[in-house]
Amino acid sequence: MRGWSFVIVAAGKGRRFGGPPKQFEKLGEMPLWEWSARTALKLKADGVEQIVLVVPPGMESSMEAETARIRSRIDLVMVPGGERRQDSVLNGLKAARGKRVMIHDSARPFVSPMLCRRLVSEAVKRGSAVPLLPVTDALKHADQGVIVAGIPREGLLVTQTPQAFPSEEIHRVLKETPGHFSDEAEAWLASGRDLGWTRGDPLNFKITFPEDMELASRVLRGSSVERTGFGFDVHRLSPGIPLFLGGLRIPFPLGLSGHSDGDLLCHAIADAVLGAAGLPDIGTLFPASEGRFKGIRSLDILKEAVAMTREKGFTVSSVNAVVNAQVPRLASMAEGIRKNLTEVLFADRPGTVSLTFKSGEWTGDVGNGEAMRCWAVARLVTEGDPCPIETSDA
């Protein structure tokens, strides 16, 4: 492979954070580590061809399902970490197939693609690159809790990740340079090599203490856009056609007539999803007049609607639908319907589907078993990206 590997170290114990390892805590709807993996995905066009996820030893198999959403979109390998951060990095580097590597803390969820691009271009020019920021607060030195002196901050810089290097060379440096290193740049410098740099990003802070997670949640809440959409559908029940709801075949002598498979639950949800994203409705996008849509599976219409909203930067976070049907009784079908819908709506991000079934109280067309109705509300959010600020190199 000629491109970049993106190594995410997620094998620490998070002692300062407390509790289970912080990298598996949820930030928004995703575990902390997944934020960085998603940034790596956005860098495929910039040459990132592989993600190496370094996890606590023994967790590789339990992480299989959790990583599936990412693995379906890029080559992802998981390797066990080691006692110290540098041991974890070394294990990650053994699995890295890219010519160059970006090594990143799983505890920095808001690394932006823009920062990575600046880093990549600097590393290609200078051989290596790390993000740095000037220290802006006044510094003190404490000895066993007693403040003993002030420290001039001039010339002091804080270091972030990702840190970019040629893969084989950083591997050799970490293996052959004795010492305990806070990051790869320290080992690189200790081996006598030049270090390139680019300006870091204040949003790329590291989650170390619980209050950092609180800050990250606030950043996230302040930056994500939410939209709500509403959809409705009604279909006549007719004999001799199969009944589909949420893509599930329901055993019943009557079915919902329509130019598609009549699946009004999928239709109402698709319209809610499209409406939330400001897109045209399914009648416009999949017109009955066009032969190619005849008999189309409505679950595929829904899948298409979700893909279109994703193109606009939205992901579905929840759907709530009410199906108004006198016959048949649907409660026992709820699980199967929910499973189908979940697969289509939340292919790459977790979310919830709530379903409510209401009878027609033996009145009107629904109550007389002549028709079914459905209403659906969909909530969409912009994909987790707290709008990184582009800053020019100082």
Minimum distance from residue 243 beta carbon to ligand CTP (Å): 50
- Please report the DSSP string for 211-225 in residue order: HHHHHHHHHHHHH--
Q: Is 23 in the site for ligand CTP (CB under 6 A)?
A: yes
Structure tokens at 247: 């893509």
Residue placing its CB nearer to ligand CTP in the complex, 56 or 360: 56
Say if residue 280 is preceded by a cis peptide, omega within 30 of 0. no
Q: How far apart are CA 316 and CA 195, in angstroms?
A: 43
Stretch that binds ligand CTP, among 82-90, 256-264, 323-331, 348-356 (CB under 6 A): 82-90
Stretch that binds ligand CTP, among 37-45, 84-92, 119-127, 341-349 (CB under 6 A): 84-92
Q: How far apart are CA 254 and CA 385, in angstroms?
A: 47
Structure tokens at 101: 């590597």
Q: Is 88 in the site for ligand CTP (CB under 6 A)?
A: yes
- Where is 231: in which H helix or E strand? strand 226-239
Print the binding letters for residues 35-74 with ligand CTP: x by CB under 6 A, - otherwise.
-------------------x--------------------
Print the binding letters for residues 94-113 with ligand CTP: x by CB under 6 A, - otherwise.
-----------xxx------
Minimum distance from residue 36 beta carbon to ligand CTP (Å): 9
Residue placing its CB nearer to ligand CTP in the complex, 106 or 163: 106
For residue 285, give Cα distances in angstroms to 56, 277, 304, 323: 47, 14, 10, 23
Q: Which of 42, 71, 73, 84 binds ligand CTP (CB under 6 A)?
A: 84
Q: How far apart are CA 48 and CA 25, in angstroms?
A: 26
Structure tokens at 363: 């009145």
- Do residues 145 and 70 touch, judged by C-beta distance below 8 A? no
Residue placing its CB nearer to ligand CTP in the complex, 16 or 140: 16
Minimum distance from residue 138 beta carbon to ligand CTP (Å): 24
Dihedral, CA atoms, 107, 346, 40, 116, nearest 10 degrees? -80
Minimum distance from residue 209 beta carbon to ligand CTP (Å): 8
Greatest distance between any 2 Cα atoms in the chain? 87
Q: Is 309 in the site for ligand CTP (CB under 6 A)?
A: no
Minimum distance from residue 55 beta carbon to ligand CTP (Å): 8
- Do residues 321 and 356 touch, judged by C-beta distance below 8 A? yes
- Do residues 163 and 130 touch, judged by C-beta distance below 8 A? yes
Minimum distance from residue 81 beta carbon to ligand CTP (Å): 4
Q: Is 91 in the site for ligand CTP (CB under 6 A)?
A: no
Contact set for ligand CTP, span 197-226 (CB under 6 A): 206, 208
Stretch that binds ligand CTP, among 12-20, 238-246, 259-267, 353-361 (CB under 6 A): 12-20
140-163 b/e (C-beta count within 10 Å ≥ 16 → b): eeeeeeeeeeeeeeeeeeebbbbb
Minimum distance from residue 349 beta carbon to ligand CTP (Å): 21
Minimum distance from residue 289 beta carbon to ligand CTP (Å): 55
Alpha helices in the chain (DSSP H): 32-41, 64-71, 85-95, 113-126, 167-176, 184-190, 210-223, 264-276, 282-285, 298-311, 334-345, 364-367
Q: What single letter denotes the amino acid at residue 373?
A: R
Q: Which of 4, 7, 10, 196 binds ligand CTP (CB under 6 A)?
A: 10
Residue least distant from ligand CTP (Cβ): 12
Stretch that binds ligand CTP, among 79-87, 115-123, 195-203, 328-336 (CB under 6 A): 79-87
Total residues interacting with ligand CTP, rule: CB under 6 A: 22
Q: Is 85 in the site for ligand CTP (CB under 6 A)?
A: yes
Q: Which of 7, 11, 77, 305 binds ligand CTP (CB under 6 A)?
A: 11
- Do residues 109 and 207 touch, judged by C-beta distance below 8 A? yes
Interaction site with ligand CTP (CB under 6 A):
9-17, 23, 54, 81-85, 88, 105-107, 206, 208
